[in-house]
Amino acid sequence: MKAYVSTALAVALVLSAAACKQQPAETNMPAGAEAAAAASLEAINGTWKVDLASLKFEGRPDEYSLKDGSYGCVTCTPPLTVAADGAMHAVADRPYYDAMSVKVVDDRTVEFRRQKGGKDVSVVTQSVSADGNVLTTKFKDMTTPGQTIEGTSTARRAGPAAAGAHAISGQWKPDKISDYTEEAQSLTFNVAGDTVTSSGQGQSYKAELGGPAVPLEGDTGGTMIKVAREGASALRETQIRDGKEIGYSIITPSADGKTVSYVYTDNRDSTKTSWTGNKTA
């Protein structure tokens, strides 16, 4: 999934603690063991479709504030503040957008638009239920050129809104995602020898196990990917941006080869997003 950029899936998957120790470049494996490890890692080969019902979100809740004409995303990295007047405003330090607007539709609904280079990259509408306890987010993500991903996510209230603040304010614990664009629910992996290729949602990479980081093609945020073995049969993908490791994914195939588990950890706030994928090809 777009755990690479985490706009649709970790805004909504993405596609986000101290990192586990990476497999050392040198090992003391007995003769033939390295070849066996490579063979077992090839169990990840194929196309995997996310089971949306398996999605889990761990870590601190998201926190927003909308009051007195100002919107703040307290838990964004870095935190964000922008006028909530419906106009487009420049924002800094965002790899996937450089301007955004916040429009209050009514006392329970807010619309967000994000742009990069003057072009829309996402449209998001957040609505709070009548009892104030469920936040529904409808999103349209165009972060990757030529790709449009749409869906709906929900979150449960984890902390109250401040007195006089808009209903979307307060803390929210991500709950589930539904209605996610069908063709954007799949990831493909291929391990051949020490070369790993992966593609999904208009993004792809080709990297060497234990080798240097490579560009994530199709990614507009400048993300680099480095891959390594995690144990005998799992793959570790490390995301790097501006020279810093921002997060990593551990992809582990099941013993019967029918499913994979995918766990993404954001080094910046220790949050985790996980899901199970079913093999389709």
pLDDT at 39: 52
Are 75 and 101 members of one domain? yes
For 41, the enclosing helix (H) or strand (E) is: helix 33-41
- If asked whether residues 54 and 72 sit together in one domain, one would say no
**What is the model's pLDDT at position 230?**
95
CATH code for position 225? 2.40.128.20
Tell whether 51 and 100 lie within a shared domain.
no
Residue 22 lies in a domain: no
44 and 120 assigned to the same domain: no
Domain boundary pick from 128, 162, 181: 181
Q: Do the beta carbons of residue 225 and residue 217 sit within 8 Å?
A: no
192 and 54 assigned to the same domain: yes
What is the rounded CA–CA span in Å between residue 59 and residue 196?
A: 30
Q: Give the pLDDT score at 21.
A: 28
Given this model, what pLDDT does residue 178 score?
86
Looking at the structure, tell me whether residues 176 and 220 fall in a common domain: no
Q: For the chain, which ranges sit under pLDDT 50?
A: 1-38
Residue 201 · residue 228 · CB < 8 Å: no
Q: What is the pLDDT of residues 11-22, one digit of tens each?
A: 333 322 222 223
pLDDT digits (tens, 9 = 90+) for 78-90: 999 999 999 999 9
> Do residues 127 and 155 make contact, with C-beta atoms less than 8 angstroms apart?
no
Same domain? 211 vs 104: no
> pLDDT value at position 127?
98
- Residue 193 pLDDT: 92
pLDDT at residue 19, as a whole number: 24
